[in-house]
Chain A
């Protein structure tokens, strides 16, 4: 468990009631259905959930990287340093992306342009957002590659992405996105596509960078194990909604939402008996083509009541810095 920086009250990003939909020939996909959270300077926030729960889409929405003909950001605000990112004109958005808020994606092979050298892909960021001259930009690029642990970076500036290994490519991505020292780094499952050993290295790198640069991090993952080593606070998402938000320790020791509890219970643990069956969550993930009605987890929840099916629970504080969106007390099974 790592320590974050002190200034907890320095609010950096405040997202309120974000809703994003996609209009497809098969129907409307309700991807994000009212997500609200905040991020402070230097803080590391983990966003956890299964595939399709809306964690990636909500981040892409903030940066306005959602393709707008099928996609639509229906409502919500995302205040960054006082400006609503969802309403900024595109030209100003371009100044925010890469410079103030950067995003690292999951698959470094497809996320890097195969026909441009890595040097070019890093320098173009610097050229766009800084006023440095060519020499300074080159030096800075080499410096960045050194920081992320590449050997002999000056020589490799002219190499292409396919000439690097997976782990190295992800480091290049990180170097590229950190080039202009953003205040927020959004990392969308950056280690999922990599070997476990490389995963550890990348995480170590990010932790080190965080300490050196002091940036806030939003780390998206479906892997609860990763969360423990990295984050201070965690958000658990399900079907486009946040169901629980807590500090890391509180989440692991005292999960209050049935979904989080079930997730943690499903984790295989070294200290459990091997002959017991693994617990899994019954049912299947929700069909997002249907307009959400009531709690999305209700069909699979062992405590589901009538109220759960008809009324969508709001995210509410139930303990210091611990919120859940649920009508039930998970310990007793009774309404709260």
Chain B
């Protein structure tokens, strides 16, 4: 098992390398950092030249990438424009934990900027994932047990609708119904923006309340898809021989469903969930926009528009690392849960 993990981690390295190169080239070519830092759309020529030197933009692209990766404090660049490189850089490089400094936010460390927002996104996604797993299993099992009944057909129809809706539509509709209309109709309404009610303060209760709608918006699409998957695997499992054996032993129905069947049916779900993390992140981005949730989504948009390569690269690399690690974790979990693999 340990060897497997190490092998996967090693495989991840060239992957991350490829990703970082692709994105770096894309971002650098896309943006005009000089304009961003200069503050105006058209800085004066001397200003532009100076900024270009300071930002290292006069160097070839691959060199810029190298500096990004391993820093430039070991190299000198020409700060005062006299043609002589005398000033050492200040970046330590990504491999040493330094993601550089933001352009759009005047020299603030990228890691600091990301860290301000990341925990909120993590909270949102963490809660969403738990909700997704729980409801997918429950609804899927229920649907399978009531195959072809009216409830089953209704659930299937709702599931189709659920994953055909754009996330922002779900979000807006839920705001409209549970936020606005409920209030108008005198029903208890759910809050629709931010993480807490300013008058009450950032308590756990407030955060939980404010999480409800955003989490629901993200979760609905996934639940719609996974519950159908669970339904299919449950149906398959329920017709397996060992379920018949369990029945022949006279075991109670609940035990057969939840111990014998579900344990087998939920295994494939683990793999699927692992593969879908990027989609969840994407959903979070849009949801954070609408609900004003102070996560990495809005921040990402803000910095991309302004061509702030350092921040964008920082966020994307972090996401990539997180996704890869999560996928490895999923594989390990699956291998551990399935005794046929664990005891090999």
Contacts and interface: CB of A to CB of B under 8 A. Distances in A.
B245 interface: yes
B255 interface: yes
A136 interface: no
B217 to A, nearest CB: 35
Interface residues of A, number: 34
Contacts of B239: 67
A189 B308 CA distance: 72
B259 interface: yes
A111 B242 CA distance: 4
Interface string A84-100: 00000000011111110
Interface string A256-279: 000000000000000000000000
B147 to A, nearest CB: 8
B244 A116 contact: no
Interface in B218-256: 239-242, 244-252, 255
Contacts, number: 83
Nearest to B239: A67
A103 interface: yes
A162 B242 CA distance: 13
Interface in A37-90: 63, 65, 67, 69
B248 A63 contact: yes
Interface residues of B, number: 26
A107 interface: yes
A124 to B, nearest CB: 6
B250 A110 contact: no
Given A67-B239, A112-B242, A103 B248 contact: yes
A333 interface: no
A125 interface: yes
Contacts of A128: 249-252
B339 A129 contact: no
B264 interface: yes
B343 A111 contact: no
Interface string B244-285: 111111111001000110011001000000000000000000
Contacts of B249: 97-98, 102, 124-125, 128, 176-177
B340 A97 contact: no
A115 interface: yes
A294 interface: no
A93 B259 CA distance: 20
A115 B343 contact: no
SS class, residues of chain B in contact with chain A: helix
Interface in A210-260: none
B250 A98 contact: yes
Contacts of A163: 343
A162 B339 contact: yes
A114 interface: yes
B339 A97 contact: no
Nearest to B339: A160
B338 interface: yes
B148 interface: yes
B245 A105 contact: yes
A113 interface: yes
A103 B241 CA distance: 12
Interface string A267-305: 000000000000000000000000000000000000000
B107 to A, nearest CB: 56
B227 to A, nearest CB: 21
19 contacts: A94-B251, A97-B247, A98-B249, A102-B248, A105-B241, A107-B241, A111-B241, A111-B244, A112-B242, A113-B263, A114-B339, A115-B263, A115-B264, A115-B337, A124-B249, A125-B251, A176-B249, A177-B248, A177-B249
Given A67-B239, A115-B340, 15 more contacts: A94-B252, A96-B250, A97-B250, A98-B248, A99-B250, A110-B242, A111-B242, A113-B246, A117-B339, A125-B249, A125-B251, A128-B249, A128-B251, A128-B252, A129-B250
Interface of A: 63, 65, 67, 69, 93-99, 102-103, 105, 107, 110-117, 124-125, 128-129, 159-160, 162-163, 173, 176-177
- Considering the complex of A and B, which 3 residue pairs feature the smallest CB-CB distances, nearest first? A97-B250, A98-B250, A98-B249
